[in-house]
Structure 1
Amino acid sequence: MSISTLFSYLESFIPLKQEEKERIEKKFVHLTVNRKHRLLKAGEICKDYFFVISGCFRMFGVDDKGFEHNIQFAAESDWIADIGSFYSQKTSQLYIEALEHAEVLSIRQQDLYELFTSFPKLNRIFKIMIEHKYIELQNRVLQNFSSTAEQRYLAFLEHYPHLKNRLPNTQIASYLGITPEFLSKIRKDLRDH
């Protein structure tokens, strides 16, 4: 199991003692996921928080016309969960789907809360992590009503530089709220400048 990737991530915030690492490791489950597999479906409760070891995921919703709208991507050393459903234990309106063959570490809500109680510094790490995700979401909402499609694409490249060549145009366009054809035009215009 690639728990060392998780420890590297956590220790980028605060060093961990060996005892803490051993307790944390016991709470996580290693999963291998095939492309297109859904870790979460709308109507389910998000019972797990997922740390991505390898591969790429998207979190998306579906509107009343059946169109998918990507909300977030997560690749190596990132987390993904419907945070609202995870913390409230109410049904989700979102899906989490593997875009590539992937490996994740999964932790249940109860196990995470147990670790928070045992190791307050882990609670602090998650607080900082969620604050960063919240700021990211605020910036994204602001961009959606105050930025051009080109500006949103440039912000996407800045936030997800490692995904630019891994994701198909359809996935990036869905995240930006534009058509794949318009994204192709933006990319062409940027190359020509």
Structure 2
Amino acid sequence: MFAVFEKYLQSKASFSEAEIAQIKAASLPKTLRKRQYLLQAGDEWSYQAFVTSGCLRTYSVDAKGAEHILNFAVENWWTGNQESLTTGQPSRYYVEAIEKSTLLLFRKEDFEQLRREIPSLDEVVNAILYRSFLASQNRIHAAISYSAEEKYREFLRLYPAFAQRIPQYMVASYLGMTTETLSRIRRHFV
């Protein structure tokens, strides 16, 4: 499991054997069954979580019981709840495994210490934060200005493998449309 993370890190920056050993010592392996929660709304989140295999979703549930998916996380992606991690407040979101998944968790304090002691790791994290900010900005732009068809087309362009891997009702929730609307749009793509 850690070998996946090491390969990921080495693809992003240069790390010595001692630094990799230090990072490995701080990692906590976690396996989730399909439909098992990594985090539930109301709980405080205190980890950084790297996905080594599988697929997870982050979502909220509104007052009417409807789910609203914020994002998905697959291999070599990070997941969790940065708001809860940063503020210490209970999470508003659920993080659930869509498939059997394996992750590496890092306690907040341990991860912050690693970032202070290993400049390459800090650089990798800063680059991830920057890309995450840009992705969030692009997602907001699409949500407020694209038609349903344009949203789906952009989703397929950015995440072509997701269309086969993630149930359609979850894709619809992520795109902010009904399953019926997505089915109608998908018929035009066949």
Q: TM-score range by the shorter chain?
A: over 0.9
Does 1:108 pair with 2:78?
no
- In structure 2, the residue matched to 1:43 is 42
Q: What fraction of aligned residue pairs are identical, expressed as a percent?
A: 33
- In 1, Cα distance between the equivalents of 2:69 and 2:83? 16
Query: Is there any run of 5+ residues in structure 1 with no aligned partner, and where?
Result: none
Residues 81-103 of structure 1 deviation map (CA, whole Å, 9 limit, x = unaligned): 11111122221101100001111
Superposed, 1:76-115 pairs within 5 Å as: 76-115=75-114
Equivalent position of 2:58 in the other structure: 59
Paired amino acid for 2:112: Y
Q: Which residue does the alignment assign to 2:147?
A: 148
Instruction: Report the TM-score, using the length of structure 1 for normalisation.
Output: 0.95
Deviation, 1:125, is 0.8
SS at match of 2:43: coil
Between the two proteins, the alignment pairs up a number of residues equal to 190
Partner amino acid, structure 1, of 2:91: S
RMSD across aligned C-alpha pairs, in angstroms?
1.0
Give every structure 1 segment of 4 or more consecutive aligned residues whose post-TM-superposition deviation is greater than 3 Å: none
Q: Matches of 2:156 and 2:88 in 1, distance apart?
A: 33
1:159-188 Cα deviation digits (max 9, x unpaired): 222211011111000000111111111111
The amino acid across from 1:170 in the alignment is Y
Distance 1:190 1:15 in 2: 43
Q: 1:176 and 2:175 equivalent?
A: yes
- C-alpha displacement at 1:158, in angstroms? 2.1
TM score, norm. by length of structure 2? 0.97
Any stretches of 5+ residues in structure 2 without a counterpart? none
Task: Measure how far apart 1:59 and its partner are.
Answer: 0.3
